C-alpha cells in the first residue's frame, strides 16, 4: 500500500529497508509536544486570517489537545510506517476528527514544521541546562567560600608551581560555567526566530500572518528568508558547540577529582554516593561518576562534529540529510544534563583532606617565587637577578633534600649576604597565598569576596 500522507503518485509502498532508513519516529517522538504546540498556533492563525473556517480550526485544536493527552498518558500508538512525528500526529488527528484534519497542513510543509519543532525543543533544553549550570555554580561557590583560606598546591605542567587556595580553584570553574551559560543564552537569542510560514522552501501564496504565529510561540519575530529558515541548522550547531565547551570544562574538573581521589594525591575523598567498588579488588573505591563525566565529553563533542559534517556539503534548501540533526543532539544534551547533575552532587559531597593539601602545597619549592619577590621588594634587586639567586638557593636545598624554609640564614647569606631573618616569613605557604592580593589573585580575602558575589548573583 502506498503512503497515506504523500502516496498519491505512488503505486506501491516502500521497500522494508527504505522504511527503516527513512523513519525518524524512533527518535523524533520527543518533538511531539512541540509539534502539537506549533500546529495549534498554526491552526489558530489560519482561522484568524480566514484561510480556515473557525469551526474547522476548533475541531483541529480540540483533536490536537486529545492527542497530547494520549501521548502524555502513554496510550498513543507510534507507527514506523508513518515515518515521523509530524505524520503520526496528523494521521491520528484524521482518525479522531475525520477529513477536516487534512486542512491543518494548508500553507505549511514538514520542512518549516520540523525546523520549528526543533527550535522549540532546543530552546527548552537550553533553559533547563541554564538552571542546572546555575545549581552547579552555587555548589562550587559554597565550597569556595568554605575553603577560601584552605591552601593547596597550584600546578603548572602538573608540577607544583605556587600555593593557591582551594576556594580559588573552585571559583575558576564558576567562571568557566558562567561563560558556558552566556554562550547558551547567546545561541538562544539567535535561534529565537520563527520558521513557520516558510512552508517547503519558498514561502506560501496564502495570506498567512507569520508575526501572529511567531508571537504565539514565544519567538521574537518571523525569520526573514524562507530558504534559510528551512535549510540551516546553525542553531543546533551553536547549541552543540556551547555544550561541547561546557562538557570540556566538566571533563577537566572530573579529571582533577579523579587525580585528587588517588591515594598518591590523597587530596579528597568522594562519598559512597559517588563511588563504586570493584568486583574483584575489595579495597577499591573508584570515582566512576567523575570518569563517566570525563568520558561523556567524547560523545558530546562527537555530536557537534557529526552535525558539522552532515551540513557542510548541503545545497539549499531542505535535504533529508537534515533528519540526521536530531539523534546526536538529543543524546548530547541529555548526556550533558546528566553530567551536570552528577557533578553538582559530587562537588557538594567532596571532602577535601586539608592537611594533605597544605603539606603538598609546600613541596617542590612552591614558594620560590615568593622568595624572588622578597629579594626584589626588600633588596631592590632586578627580578631577573632575584630569580637567579633564588634558583641557586633552591639547588642548595634540593641537594640536601630539604625545603627552602629549612635552609639556615648563613646558608642563604652565602649566596646573597644582604638576606635577613625576616625572609623566613614569606617562605610559608599561608603567607604566600595571603600576599596574592592583586585583583583576581588567590588571597583568601579576594576569594571570600568573589564567592559571596557569585552566591548573590545566583539568587537573582
Which residues are known to be catalytic?
157, 278
Cross-strand pairs, 164: 152
Annotate 396-429 with b (16+ C-beta within 10 A) or e (fewer).
bbeeeeebbbebeeeebeebbeebeeebbebbbb
Nearer to ligand ARG, 108 or 110 (CB): 110
Nearest-approach distance from CB 320 to ligand ARG, in angstroms = 6
Question: CA-based Rg of the chain, rounded to a whole angstrom?
Answer: 31
Nearer to ligand ARG, 320 or 459 (CB): 320
Nearer to ligand ARG, 89 or 419 (CB): 89
Q: What gap in Å lies between CA 313 and CA 300, rounded to an integer?
A: 22
Which residue matches cell numbers 523524533?
A: 28
- CB under 6 A: which stretch of 107-115, 126-134, 350-358, 367-375 binds ligand ARG? 107-115
Nearer to ligand ARG, 121 or 318 (CB): 318
Nearer to ligand ARG, 28 or 238 (CB): 28
Residue of 40, 107, 48 whose CA lies nearest to 67 = 40
Q: What gap in Å lies between CA 118 and CA 149, rounded to an integer?
A: 47
Query: N- to C-terminal Cα distance for the chain?
Result: 58
- CB under 6 A: which stretch of 11-19, 169-177, 315-323, 405-413 binds ligand ARG? 315-323
Answer yes or no whether residue 318 interacts with ligand ARG by CB under 6 A: yes
Nearest-approach distance from CB 49 to ligand ARG, in angstroms = 24
Element (H, E) at 269: strand 268-269
User: Among 137, 138, 323, 329, which residue interacts with ligand ARG (rule: CB under 6 A)?
Assistant: 323
Which residue matches cell numbers 533528519?
A: 323
Report residue 7: phi and psi, to 5°.
-80, 10
User: Among 116, 139, 244, 322, which residue interacts with ligand ARG (rule: CB under 6 A)?
Assistant: 322
Nearest-approach distance from CB 131 to ligand ARG, in angstroms = 28
What stretches of 354-441 show up as alpha helix (H) in DSSP?
A: 354-362, 368-379, 383-399, 409-415, 429-435
- 353 C-beta neighbours (distance < 10 Å), count: 16
Nearer to ligand ARG, 108 or 294 (CB): 108
Which parts of 15-34 interact with ligand ARG (CB under 6 A)?
24, 28
Nearest-approach distance from CB 211 to ligand ARG, in angstroms = 24
Residues binding ligand ARG: what is the number (CB under 6 A)?
10
Nearest-approach distance from CB 198 to ligand ARG, in angstroms = 12
Answer yes or no whether residue 226 interacts with ligand ARG by CB under 6 A: no
- Enter the C-alpha cell of residue 135: 545549581
Nearer to ligand ARG, 253 or 310 (CB): 310
- CB under 6 A: which stretch of 320-328, 349-357, 405-413, 419-427 binds ligand ARG? 320-328
User: Among 110, 123, 169, 434, which residue interacts with ligand ARG (rule: CB under 6 A)?
Assistant: 110
Answer yes or no whether residue 90 interacts with ligand ARG by CB under 6 A: no
Q: Do 151 and 266 touch, CB atoms closer than 8 A?
A: no
Which residue matches cell numbers 477529513?
A: 99
Q: Do 298 and 307 touch, CB atoms closer than 8 A?
A: no
Listed in sequence order, the residues at least 6 apart from 300 whose beta carbon sits closer than 8 Å to its beta carbon are 240, 243, 244, 247, 332, 335, 336
User: Among 84, 90, 232, 370, which residue interacts with ligand ARG (rule: CB under 6 A)?
Assistant: 84
- CB under 6 A: which stretch of 48-56, 106-114, 256-264, 279-287 binds ligand ARG? 106-114
Nearest-approach distance from CB 24 to ligand ARG, in angstroms = 4
DSSP letter (8 states) at residue 151: E
Q: Do 154 and 161 touch, CB atoms closer than 8 A?
A: yes
Q: What gap in Å lies between CA 281 and CA 289, rounded to an integer?
A: 19
Answer yes or no whether residue 169 interacts with ligand ARG by CB under 6 A: no
Nearer to ligand ARG, 114 or 347 (CB): 114
Which parts of 398-437 interact with ligand ARG (CB under 6 A)?
none
The residues that touch ligand ARG, with contacts defined as CB under 6 A, are 24, 28, 84, 110-111, 114, 318, 320, 322-323
Amino acid at each position: 500500500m502506498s503512503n497515506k500522507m504523500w502516496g498519491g503518485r505512488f503505486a506501491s509502498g516502500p521497500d522494508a529497508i527504505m522504511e527503516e532508513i527513512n523513519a525518524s519516529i524512533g527518535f523524533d517522538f520527543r518533538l511531539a509536544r512541540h509539534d502539537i504546540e506549533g500546529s495549534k498556533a498554526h491552526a489558530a492563525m489560519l482561522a484568524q486570517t480566514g484561510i480556515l473556517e473557525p469551526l474547522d480550526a476548533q475541531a483541529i485544536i480540540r483533536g490536537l489537545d486529545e492527542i497530547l493527552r494520549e501521548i502524555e498518558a502513554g496510550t498513543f500508538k507510534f507507527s514506523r510506517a508513518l515515518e515521523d512525528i509530524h505524520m503520526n500526529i496528523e494521521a491520528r488527528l484524521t482518525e479522531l476528527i475525520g477529513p477536516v484534519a487534512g486542512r491543518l497542513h494548508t500553507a505549511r510543509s514538514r520542512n518549516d514544521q520540523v525546523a520549528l519543532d526543533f527550535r522549540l525543543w532546543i530552546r527548552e533544553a537550553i533553559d533547563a541546562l541554564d538552571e542546572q549550570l546555575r545549581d552547579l555554580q552555587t555548589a562550587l561557590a559554597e565550597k569556595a567560600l568554605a575553603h577560601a583560606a584552605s591552601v593547596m598546591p597550584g600546578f603548572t605542567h602538573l608540577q607544583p608551581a605556587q600555593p593557591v587556595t582551594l576556594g580559588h580553584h573552585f571559583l575558576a570553574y564558576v567562571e568557566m560555567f558562567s561563560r558556558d551559560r552566556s554562550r547558551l543564552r547567546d545561541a538562544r537569542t539567535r535561534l529565537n526566530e520563527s520558521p513557520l510560514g516558510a512552508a517547503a522552501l519558498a514561502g506560501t501564496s496564502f495570506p498567512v500572518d507569520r508575526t501572529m504565529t511567531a508571537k504565539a510561540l514565544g519567538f521574537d519575530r518571523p525569520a526573514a528568508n524562507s530558504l534559510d529558515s528551512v535549510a540551516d541548522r546553525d542553531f543546533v550547531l551553536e547549541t552543540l558547540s556551547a555544550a561541547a565547551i561546557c562538557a570540556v570544562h566538566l571533563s577537566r574538573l572530573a579529571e582533577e577529582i579523579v587525580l585528587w581521589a588517588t591515594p598518591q594525591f590523597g587530596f579528597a575523598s568522594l562519598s559512597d554516593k559517588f563511588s563504586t567498588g570493584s568486583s574483584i579488588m575489595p579495597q577499591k573505591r573508584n570515582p566512576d561518576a567523575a570518569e563517566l563525566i570525563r568520558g561523556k565529553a567524547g560523545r558530546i563533542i562527537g555530536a557537534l562534529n557529526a552535525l558539522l559534517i552532515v551540513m557542510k556539503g548541503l545545497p539549499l534548501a531542505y535535504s533529508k540529510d537534515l533528519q540526521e540533526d536530531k539523534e546526536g543532539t538529543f543524546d548530547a544534551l541529555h548526556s550533558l544534563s546528566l553530567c551536570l547533575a552528577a557533578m553538582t552532587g559530587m562537588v557538594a559531597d567532596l571532602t577535601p583532606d586539608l592537611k594533605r593539601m597544605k603539606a603538598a602545597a609546600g613541596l617542590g619549592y612552591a614558594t620560590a617565587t615568593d622568595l624572588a619577590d622578597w629579594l626584589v621588594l626588600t633588596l631592590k634587586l632586578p627580578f631577573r637577578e632575584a630569580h637567579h639567586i633564588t634558583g641557586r638557593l633552591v639547588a642548595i636545598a634540593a641537594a640536601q633534600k630539604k625545603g627552602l624554609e629549612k635552609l639556615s640564614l648563613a646558608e642563604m647569606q652565602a649566596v646573597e649576604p644582604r638576606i635577613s631573618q625576616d625572609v623566613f616569613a614569606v617562605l610559608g605557604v599561608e603567607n604566600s597565598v595571603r600576599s596574592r592580593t592583586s585583583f583576581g589573585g588567590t588571597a583568601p580575602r579576594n576569594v571570600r569576596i568573589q564567592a559571596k558575589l557569585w552566591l548573590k548573583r545566583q539568587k537573582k
